[in-house]
Structure 1
Amino acid sequence: MSSPAIIAELRETLRAIEGDGYRRRETLPFGIAQVDSRLADGGLRLDGLHEVAAGGADMSNDAAATLFMAGIAARAWGPILWVVRRRDLFAPGLYQAGLSPERVLYAEARDDAELLALMEEGLRHRGLGAVIGEVKRAGMAATRRLQLAAEGGRTIALLMRRHAREGADPLGAPSAALTRWRVAAAPSVPLRSGGMGRPRWSVSLVRQRSGEPFDTLLEACDDTGRLALPAALGDRSRAPGRASPRTAAA
């Protein structure tokens, strides 16, 4: 077995070779302990690609996934580049999720290949807080290029995987993304005064690098882009004898 001195010397050598590879990478936490504690990096790495898919091909699930990304972008720094294939984004809805219109730059791509190229260019620019795109198909090589373009910067990459055909899982194809999420609309709780309460989403982290998947129920983004744990789950996580925050969101 190697001595501690030899191990320490080896680590110093690796630091000299790899430069800043040992520095803690910047992350964007959700601000919810029951979620952030289960993410390998304590949040979403800013220098990485993160994928999102709707829980179904219907409009309600598609809107939930879109607003999930908008909320993340709203909490990032600086201007946002959103690359689309069709002009179906509803600006007032994005604003309600915290993403102000003056922060968003829109680009329209002819096909998935051009969309991915525009995203890569935006990530390499280093002057954007987030780059968002929506595709039906993106191969492993394309996602690896996006991940490499994001590394070393502070521009988070968000790629929405749309449903390409009935019954197919948008997250079924291999990807270099650091995290892969599935977001679906969930029933909200009626208010005592009448009417519907804050919208809720069923959020699943399908895959994360160096971490385990998990499922949770969250209240939709508010006008600052922040999600919330439903009141009942929040109270349960703090009650005596209950599970720790690490497991309460499962």
Structure 2
Amino acid sequence: MSVPSPLHASLAADPIAKLREAVVQTRGPSTPSLPFGIGLMDERLASGGVDGAGLHEFAAASSSLNDDAAATLFLAGIAARFAADPGQTVCWAMTAFDLYAPGLEQVGLGPDKLLYAQGRKEVDVLAIAEDALRDGSLACVIAEVKSADMTATRRLQLAASDGQTPMLLYRRHRTRERCPLSSPSSAMTRWRIGCAPSERLPWPGVGRGHWQVELVRQRNGDPFSLELEACDAKGRLALPAASGDRAAAPRRADAQDSAISRAA
């Protein structure tokens, strides 16, 4: 006669533990989070980074083109790092194609990494994103919409979990200074991005742009706000460095926030 193991005994005694064990088994291997490589951010994020199988929402801090550009580049940099390995592709779905490709390439998201999808209506964009997530072969999925209700975001979160693919939802077309992130959502994290003044350089030239990065809400964690240097050529952010600590080597002017301005 076999004797039950302590684990089986505890599961039998605790139905909640048994249910959790069943959920873990049905999920299969989990997708790791993508850290930012900045301690002040990663240590405050509940998952240690951007969850690789979840929905994440983004919005510009204001209706200005500069903040729209900053938010676009911020999520593009995240997508570029998800697709860093050769052969990885990002699907970007939208109703109107107005992206500035050279600007995206400056943060590591070149044309060889991008698959564009265009829908006539936002409901079509959301459907495209859901199908792309469930396919499970993409490094990341991005969708641009004006609004997405609780049902839509819940479907995207479930699809991201099923396909083990990160979903970056950009809530664009902000009007009358009403933040799109004020409505309820099933997103794991919600970010608001805006431009911040750059520090004066000790020599003539254009410095790296600064962004005010605000995590408005996250599951199992607290919100926070940080001023960061804009994405580099590999989509990586950085803490602002003191002017005296900056390298004086010549570099290409990094006017990303203006260069990415959407084509009219």
- TM-score normalised per structure 1: 0.86
Give the drift of 1:152.
3.7
Q: 1:164 to 1:197 in 2, by over 3 A?
A: closer
Aligned to 2:57: 51
Letter in 1 for 2:186: A
Corresponding residue pairs, total: 231
Q: 1:222 is matched with which residue: 223, 232, 245?
A: 232
Q: 1:160 is matched with which residue: 133, 151, 170?
A: 170
Asked whether the 8 Å contact 2:135–2:163 carries over to 1, the reply is no
Structure 1, unaligned runs of 5 or more = 236-250
> How big is each residue's C-alpha offset from its partner over 1:180-237, in whole Å with a ceiling of 9 and x where there is no partner?
000001111232121221001000000000100000000000000100011149x9xx
Q: 1:7 to 1:204 in 2, by over 3 A?
A: farther
Q: Secondary structure at the match of 2:181?
A: coil
Percent same amino acid among aligned pairs? 51
1:14 aligns with 2:19: yes
Q: Distance in 1 between matches of 2:186 and 2:97?
A: 27
Give the drift of 1:14.
3.4
Letter in 1 for 2:179: D
Q: 2:75 is matched with which residue: 62, 65, 69?
A: 69
1:35 aligns with 2:41: yes
Q: Distance in 2 between matches of 1:134 and 1:180?
A: 14
Aligned to 1:205: 215
> How big is each residue's C-alpha offset from its partner over 1:109-160, in whole Å with a ceiling of 9 and x where there is no partner?
1111111010001001100011001111111100000000000433110001
Q: Secondary structure at the match of 1:60?
A: helix
Letter in 1 for 2:97: R
Q: Secondary structure at the match of 1:166?
A: coil
Letter in 2 for 1:39: L
Asked whether the 8 Å contact 2:150–2:185 carries over to 1, the reply is yes
Give the drift of 1:164.
4.1
1:148 aligns with 2:148: no
Q: Distance in 2 between matches of 1:16 and 1:138?
A: 33
Asked whether the 8 Å contact 2:61–2:179 carries over to 1, the reply is no
Flag the structure with larger Rg: 2
Q: Distance in 2 between matches of 1:143 and 1:92?
A: 30
Structure 2, unaligned runs of 5 or more = 1-5, 246-264
- TM-score normalised per structure 2: 0.82
Q: 1:79 to 1:210 in 2, by over 3 A?
A: same
Q: Secondary structure at the match of 2:131?
A: helix
1:183 aligns with 2:188: no
1:169 aligns with 2:174: no
Letter in 2 for 1:150: A
Q: Secondary structure at the match of 2:93?
A: strand
Aligned to 1:128: 138
Asked whether the 8 Å contact 1:137–1:164 carries over to 2, the reply is no
Asked whether the 8 Å contact 1:189–1:196 carries over to 2, the reply is no
Letter in 1 for 2:44: R
Asked whether the 8 Å contact 2:90–2:140 carries over to 1, the reply is yes
Aligned to 1:105: 115
Q: Distance in 1 between matches of 2:20 and 2:216?
A: 32
Give the drift of 1:169.
1.4
Asked whether the 8 Å contact 1:163–1:169 carries over to 2, the reply is no
